Amino acid sequence: MTNKQQSTLENDLVLIHFEDVPMVFARVETIVADHKKEWYQVKLLVLAVPLQVVTWILKEEYINGGEFTMEGKRVRMERVVCPEDPLPATAAPTIPSGKSPSKRKSTGSGQVISFPKKAPK
């Protein structure tokens, strides 16, 4: 994350911290105004097995990373941003010049399974 915190929006991925421990990832499904002024209903798809949908009623500052409490326990949502630096590159397979990758001979013991052709309707 950069020093400048961006707002968390619908479809963003967040990491939920519970008592300062990262616990679970979730995707923000919707953010809609609550009937209480300056509060929002935030629908989250919790990315765990099994999937779970929860709706939390939060202020904007909490949606954007501020700490809040639930039943006396500290909770925080941190927006997840893909790192700008690419992952370490792996060496690409070397293809002899003049040969197409599709014409290379397999060195493994893999098996090709053909699917039957679907009859026209």
Bond from prior residue into 96 cis (ω within 30 degrees of 0): no
pLDDT in tens, 82-111: 888 776 666 666 666 665 655 556 566 777
Q: According to the model, what pLDDT value does residue 40 have?
A: 98
**Where does residue 11 fall: left (phi above 0), alpha (psi -120 to 50 degrees), or beta otherwise?**
left
Q: According to the model, what pLDDT value does residue 2 have?
A: 38
pTM for the model stands at 0.66
Residues of the chain scoring pLDDT < 50: 1-3
